[in-house]
Structure 1
Amino acid sequence: MTRWMKFAAAMLCASALPALAQPYPSRPVSIVVPHGAGGANDAIARPFSHAIGARLGQSFIVDNRAGAGGNIGTGYVARGTPDGYTLLLTVGSSYTISPFLYKAVPFDPLKDFEPIGMVATAPYVLVVNPALPVKTVQELVTLARSQPGALHMASAGNGSLDHLLGEMFKSAAGVDMVHVPYRGASAANTDLVSGQVSVTFTSWPSVMSFVNAGKLRLIAVASPARSPLLPNVPTIAETVPGVSAISWYGLFAPAATPKDVSAKLRTETAALLKDKAFQETLKAQGAEAATVDTARFSEIIRTDLQQWARIVKATGAHVD
């Protein structure tokens, strides 16, 4: 009986070995988007999840966990099991600004995650309601100076990149516009289209359809240089130096994720970003496939954290 029990135990262990040796991913992977469906972050995550899943032969499922400026979903992944089956795809503004806006943030951007790769970038833009009699940055500055406090500037919320970029513009241009925070870019854009507010600084993917339909007027891009997506549109900095920002979207895994899993995700993500069909898919969403490697991505994260810490302090923006 003893020999038989030992034999049975050995067979049981042997039968488990193939399961243990299954290559990653052997089951569906969740990509948490810490913002609501239909936003720019979601618009990048869905084609990415479909394409990376096709490359790896497994389902990658978008899981929208919105709230608290992205903190809820980001914190959820930070506390998750580091096995590669729960990942984070987030926009840089949430990842690098939130730690300085909230008194209690449920994640540490440097300690709780390891960057897999920057997936995409998208220009931030200055847009206005078509009824506003301005077509250039200089005309907007002139109008705002002539009517201090008369123009209302919408944002996706206190401390959002929209808000902070607007504050940068107001300070650098010497103008007074009233900030009107909303709960997300969608609500802000709705009121901008209806004329309840006059101006906003926002990501190109979130307003591209409105601009193309003539419901909003595109004035300038906030990128440091002109965007390949909008080559004929001037930058804000050409008129008001020092005002620039760009929106990036990155894929992260929880810290302590197995090295072979992280390496596979990095390799496949990098290969996908070179795929022409995927690049065209992103362009249709108003974004570009990222071209930086993981090391450079890590440097950008650290630089952004330092920059936004200074700007949040200077503007006095806070949420709590």
Structure 2
Amino acid sequence: MTQKIIMKKIFMRLSAIASLCCISLTAAAQGDASYPTRPIRLIVPATAGGEPDILARLLAQYMTTDLGQPIVVDNKVGAGGLIGVASVAAAKPDGYTIGIVYQAVLALSPHLIVKKLFDPLTDISPIGLISVSGNALMVPTKSPIGSYAELASRAKANQGKLSFGSWGEGSAGHVSGEVMKKSAGLDIQHIPYKGSNEALMGMLSGEINATFGGWGLASTQAKAGAVRVLAVTSPQRSPMFPDAPTFKELGIPFGLNSWYGLVAPKNLSTPVLKRLEGALQKAVNQAEVATKLQGMGMQSQSSTAAKLRDRIHNDYDIWGKKIHEVGIQAR
């Protein structure tokens, strides 16, 4: 076989391969352009009826209208939300599996798990923010403690006798309390509960002296006259408790908003990401959505995918440093 014939056959094979590649790329491009063509699964890393689930179903309602396809909520619980997010990370990056996430499950909890289920910095594609809120330090209104200064004073005068609650070991409330203790040199016991409501009930029944809870819970209880908010852990004062100082104002070097966002598996194509990003922003910016979020103790806040990515990286670094500083060990 002459060299000329061999070269001709090689050329023909390369041409065929190139044609197939072009066909595949064209099909992929057409697929992205027509997205979505079938229902989308929205994974919620929490039980039905909880805050993440309520938020997911609210978003699904408005995003379905924009995308023209049903968004089906799928609750996957376990490991404090990590199981649900891990299932998003492991899904095919085609835009038909997305997930609700919140600050702790991406920025805090991964630092406390020895066996990593996913990497929050590399295994997901952020789509955008949904809302921001924060946590509050509360005492019962019947408590003689009227301010953070009084809490600190009593704690120093009664070393190891005061206690605060949170919604579990390694929770944002727990870490926030440990940062408070370390910064002010306080000896206050941490009592973990199974949830914020349980911690609240424990405080109101006299089991503990104070507790941390989300703005929504704190606002509801404050309006009912059951609790007094001493401080908030957010960078700025909360519009719900304008008289409550931030941790930073009290000399405690810590300030983070909690937040909810929407993510997808890594390597999601840019056209599909932009389509989801736009639909999410439209939903979050609806006046009705903002009103409902406010009723849940949140402020609606849309963002680009890039801004959510930056927030995840920033908060991951801050929580990691604080967890190391207060000596909480991964398990």
Give the 5 Å matches for 1:28-39. 28-39=39-50
Percent of aligned pairs sharing the same letter: 33
Instruction: Tell me the residue number matched to 1:247.
Output: 258
Give the 5 Å matches for 1:229-308. 229-308=240-319
Distance 1:277 1:121, change over 3 A: same
Q: SS of the counterpart of 1:253?
A: strand
Distance 1:24 1:298, change over 3 A: same
Partner Cα distance (2:205, 2:57) in 1: 29
Distance 1:58 1:192, change over 3 A: farther
From 104, 120, 123, the counterpart of 2:134: 123
Distance 1:146 1:41, change over 3 A: farther
Partner Cα distance (1:293, 1:21) in 2: 19
Q: Can you list the C-alpha shifts for 1:155-194, whole angstroms capped at 9, x where unaligned?
A: 1211111111111111112211101122333332332333
Instruction: Tell me the residue number matched to 1:96.
Output: 107
Distance 1:20 1:274, change over 3 A: closer
Partner Cα distance (1:241, 1:313) in 2: 16
Partner Cα distance (1:283, 1:189) in 2: 21
Q: SS of the counterpart of 1:218?
A: strand
Partner Cα distance (1:268, 1:296) in 2: 16
Q: SS of the counterpart of 1:244?
A: coil
From 301, 318, 324, the counterpart of 1:313: 324
Give the 5 Å matches for 1:51-90. 51-90=62-101
CA contact (8 A) 2:215 2:240 kept: no
Instruction: Tell me the residue number matched to 1:164.
Output: 175
CA contact (8 A) 2:32 2:272 kept: no
Gaps of 5+ in 2: 1-29
- By how many angstroms is 1:297 displaced? 2.0
Q: SS of the counterpart of 2:231?
A: strand
Distance 1:149 1:62, change over 3 A: farther
Q: SS of the counterpart of 1:208?
A: helix
- By how many angstroms is 1:73 displaced? 0.8
1:142 aligns with 2:153: yes
Instruction: Tell me the residue number matched to 2:162.
Output: 151
Q: SS of the counterpart of 1:282?
A: helix
Give the 5 Å matches for 1:31-50. 31-50=42-61
- By how many angstroms is 1:292 displaced? 3.7
Q: Give TM-score, length-normalised by structure 2.
A: 0.84
Instruction: Tell me the residue number matched to 2:21.
Output: none
CA contact (8 A) 2:182 2:326 kept: no
Partner Cα distance (2:32, 2:185) in 1: 63
Instruction: Tell me the residue number matched to 2:34.
Output: 23
CA contact (8 A) 2:218 2:229 kept: no
Distance 1:110 1:236, change over 3 A: closer
Instruction: Tell me the residue number matched to 2:203.
Output: 192
CA contact (8 A) 1:43 1:285 kept: no
From 222, 225, 236, the counterpart of 2:233: 222
Distance 1:21 1:123, change over 3 A: closer
Distance 1:229 1:58, change over 3 A: farther
- By how many angstroms is 1:20 displaced? 6.6
Q: SS of the counterpart of 2:122?
A: coil
- By how many angstroms is 1:21 displaced? 8.6
CA contact (8 A) 2:44 2:74 kept: yes
CA contact (8 A) 2:229 2:241 kept: no
Distance 1:217 1:228, change over 3 A: closer
CA contact (8 A) 2:133 2:299 kept: yes
Aligned length: 302
Gaps of 5+ in 1: 1-18
- By how many angstroms is 1:38 displaced? 4.0
CA contact (8 A) 1:151 1:177 kept: yes
| Residue type at the aligned position of 1:213 | A
Instruction: Tell me the residue number matched to 1:110.
Output: 121
Partner Cα distance (2:229, 2:221) in 1: 10
Partner Cα distance (2:330, 2:205) in 1: 27
- By how many angstroms is 1:291 displaced? 4.5
Partner Cα distance (1:264, 1:280) in 2: 25
CA contact (8 A) 1:45 1:89 kept: yes
Q: Give TM-score, length-normalised by structure 1.
A: 0.86
CA RMSD of aligned residues (A): 2.2
Partner Cα distance (1:186, 1:49) in 2: 26
Q: Can you list the C-alpha shifts for 1:184-206, whole angstroms capped at 9, x where unaligned?
A: 33332332333322212222124
